[in-house]
Amino acid sequence: MFSSRRHFLTTAWSTIAVGLLTAFAGAQLDQSERESIETVPEALPNSIYTVETAPEIDGILEEIWQYGTPLSESFRQVNPDEGAPPTERTEVYLMRDSKNFYVGFRCWDNDAASISATQMKYDGDFDPDDNVTIVIDPFRDRRTGYVFQMTAGGARKDGRITNGDRVDFNWDGIWYGRTSVDGEGWTAEMVIPFQTILADPDVGEWGVNAQRFIRSKNETIRWATPRRDIRISSVANADLVAGFGNLDIGSGIDLKPFVRADIRDNGQNQTDFASTAGLDLFWKLDPSLTLALTINNDFAETEVDQRQINFGRFPLFFPEKRDFFLEDAGFFNFGGIRRNPLPFYSRRIGIGPEGAEQGILAGARLTGKIEDLNVGFMNVQMKSNGFWKNYSVARVFSDVLEESTVGAIMTAGDPAEGENNVVGGVDFNYKNTNFEGGRSLTANAFALISDSSDQSGDSTAVGFKVGYPNDVIGWSGGFSRIGDAYNAALGFNPRVGIYEYYGGWRYRWRPEDKFIRSIETGLNGFLVTDLDSDLESLDVEFEALEIETEDGTQINLNYLRRREVPLEPFTVANAVTIAEGDYTWNAYEASFQSSEANPFTLNGNFGWSGYYGGTRLEWTFGSEWRISPQFVIGGTFQYNDIEVQDQKVITRQLTAIADVYFTPDISLQNYVQWDDVSNTVGINSRFRWSPQPGTDLYIVFNQNVESEDLDFTLTQSELITKFGWTIRF
């Protein structure tokens, strides 16, 4: 058995090594071929206008903007009529001085009363409103960059681009913007300091792209590469703008101290007071490489998790929400893996099994580029339950071919007391946005191996997937093999000892109809077997119908055929025990989402299915009402009725929001959750005031209340005040 495992490991690693060498050789050949082609004279790119006096950022385009560099009148529709001229005129002006990049948008509209400016939430969902986007690629490496967005109501959103077009909207930079609505349309002004982004002061040409969304017409227009098959974030398809040399990026040092005070009541007439302080340091070692250090970090301002009830036999996946782990998280993505067998899952650090926060004494993170090499290193030092823990992750990947990468990852550390764990792996990520004359083609391949003090057996994982994510026809397929002893202690691997096969196909057509924008149908399959090829799970999903209307309303009808073969009993919703066995059932689903063009939106999902020899009825209903740009309320109710093997459980789950936005920089967000599995009500209120970019005051109120048969008992209350500011050198 050991020799067969060793033979498999040797074969797998040899295959990966040959593949990587081939990729490197292909990259070199491809580069030389490109050099011979790129020597052909091309039209000179736009050159950005340099100003001596900065414009006033108040949302009104004063006269100085007329001297800015206009993006040529080449905006075209992406939707609804790809390649057609826009129905409304859009002007974009670019300027710079030694320290800042300025962007001005003039969005003309023949029906200014139809402009949607209904929200001010920072980093929110911008689809309900008219909005504009600017994308920049300061290194012109065709893989990394930044996204900056604003709505007509003044809400701001930003993100960092890694891996070609994948946007990490959890990145928050220090920049400023204002908007204004008038009788002819609306305007937006942005100022982006060169200190905020990674930018080489000696690189003269940036990749730039711009986009506008007109909510009343559900129309998207774009400056460069206005194609549905290409995202606005695809920096490989941005256009060139020259004149970005000699930038003043300062010393590259940002200090971010904070102070915090807490008052806690445990519900037993005992009140505790505590205070603390901490410091974050951000140091650009060079224009493309940032070192971040944190001391005594905490996450008081972090949004609470959305509650989930587990109706399956594997652990739930909760997204990361803490700033230190979210910033530059794209540098730690590996092999195109979203869940299993994810080698690094940052929530393993500083969060206990029940979701309780654990103290982080200090942390260090190094991210950025060294020529064509992308690097991401992180080390976190903790003290928990009386023992010290140190966790590390190292990720490197090199740019190859036109838009692809090849790299490696290693993690070290195990949250379990007294255990050790190391994981290493290599990956190749292929991307081509000019396949077959303008289509997109992607592929990923990976190989991983773990070494755990508490595991023995086959500790390898390998896999690959290929995708054709285009508008009319889209398809994907993949395979992975995860050994029975594979264990990424700092990752997410709920299911091991399996072969996994998956794939899907979709077709979308756009009828000549004034009401329907698109109709879509598709088929997806998912198969899991154990390492002896005995079936464990089989899903076949027929996406019978997905209709989107011109205003954005969506209607979906699906059919699912499922087979599950659990080898041991498990419990769902903390109430029903499912026996081991072989179960097959059908499922039917219907969903509805109303257009976000309306201030009041509705959504619902209804499903009926068999369920491990019984039945399951589930439905979800939600709504949101943007009463004004200052006030938003909404909620979601989820219901499940399960009958199986002479057992029955009904679960209900309610979430509600009531948010107040005094300005885009002052807000009060209120979030309430209740479910009858935990029988608790959770209340989270978060006041945020940002008097200037980089300075924030948070006042957070959390309360937990037990609810049993409408008998409410206060179990915990806390009031947290945190103030942090940024000092730039």
Concatenating the DSSP letter of every residue in 204-244 gives --EEEEEEEEEGGGTEEEESS---TTS-TT-GGGPEEEE--
Contact (Cβ atoms closer than 8 angstroms) between residue 42 and residue 51:
no
Does pLDDT of 302 surpass 90? no
Distance of CA 447 to the CA centre of its chain: 24
Q: 132: closest CA among 150, 156, 106, 112?
A: 150
Return the exposure string of 53-89: e unless at least 16 CB atoms fall within 10 Å of the residue's CB, then b: eebebebebeebbeebbbbeeebbbbbeeeeeebebe
User: Which amino acid is present at 397?
Assistant: F
Mean pLDDT of 208-224: 96
% of the chain surpassing 90 pLDDT: 66
Tokens of 305: 């998790």
Per-residue model confidence (pLDDT) at position 482: 97
Alpha carbons 325 and 345: distance in angstroms, whole number: 10
- Concatenating the DSSP letter of every residue in 429-466 gives EEEEEEETTTEEEEEEEEEEEEEETT--S--EEEEEEE
pLDDT for res 386: 57
Q: Is residue 290 predicted with pLDDT exceeding 50?
A: yes
Residue with tokens 């390898």: 460
pLDDT higher than threshold 60 for residue 15? no
Residue linked to tokens 């530059």? 328
Q: Is the pLDDT of residue 10 over 70?
A: no
**Comparing C-alpha atoms, which of 4, 23, 24 is closest to residue 12?**
4
Count Cβ atoms within 10 A of the Cβ of residue 33 and give its class: 0-12 exposed, 13-18 middle, 19 or more buried.
Answer: exposed
Strands 145-151 and 100-108: unpaired
The C-alpha angle 436, 541, 610, rounded to 5 degrees, equals 170
Q: pLDDT at position 283, please?
A: 92
Residues contacting residue 270 through CB under 8 Å, at least 6 positions apart: none
Return the sign of the alpha-carbon dihedral for residues 110, 113, 114, 119: positive
Residues 6 or more apart from 464 whose CB is under 8 A from it? 443, 444, 445, 446, 478, 479, 480
Among 347-356, 477-486, 696-705, the minimum mean pLDDT is found in 347-356
d(CA 531, CA 482): 9
Q: Highest mean pLDDT: which of 21-25, 381-385, 508-512?
A: 508-512
Burial call 576-607: b when 16+ CB within 10 Å, e when fewer: bebeeeebebebebbbebbbbbbeebebbbeb
**CB neighbours (10 Å) of residue 412?**
18
- Residue-range domain boundaries for the chain: 46-242, 497-654
Range 33-45 average pLDDT: 35
Q: What pLDDT, on the 0 to 100 scale, is given for residue 324?
A: 85
> Does residue 17 surpass a pLDDT of 80?
no
- The pLDDT tens digits for 607-616 are 999 999 999 9
More confident residue, 506 or 388: 506
Residues in the chain: 729
- Of 39-48, 283-292, 519-528, 687-696, the range with the lowest mean pLDDT is 39-48
Q: Please report the pLDDT score of residue 265 as a whole number.
A: 86
Give me the pLDDT at residue 119, please: 85
| Mean pLDDT lowest among 40-49, 306-315, 512-521 | 40-49
Residue 11: strand, helix, or coil: helix
Q: Is residue 272 pLDDT above 60, yes or no?
A: yes
pLDDT of 39 above 50? no
pTM of the model: 0.85
Residue 579 vs residue 15, higher pLDDT: 579
Convert the pLDDT of each residue in 630-651 to its tens digit: 999 999 999 999 999 889 999 9
Distances (CA, A) of 578 to 612, 641, 650: 7, 15, 16
The pLDDT value recorded for residue 320 is 86
Phi, psi of 44 (to 5 degrees): -65, 140
Distance from C-alpha of 445 to C-alpha of 278, rounded to nearest angstrom? 41
Least reliable range by pLDDT among 21-25, 227-231, 295-299, 504-508: 21-25
pLDDT of 189 strictly over 60:
yes
Say which CATH class 46-242 falls into: mainly beta
pLDDT one-digit tens code per residue, 448-473: 999 988 788 899 999 999 999 999 99
Output the six-digit token pair for 511. Answer: 């009828």
Instruction: Name the residue among 357, 413, 358 with its Cα closest to residue 386.
Output: 358
- Non-local CB neighbours of 497 within 8 Å, separated by 6+ positions: 458, 482, 483, 484, 530, 531
Shortest CA distance to 224 belongs to which of 335, 166, 137, 309?
137
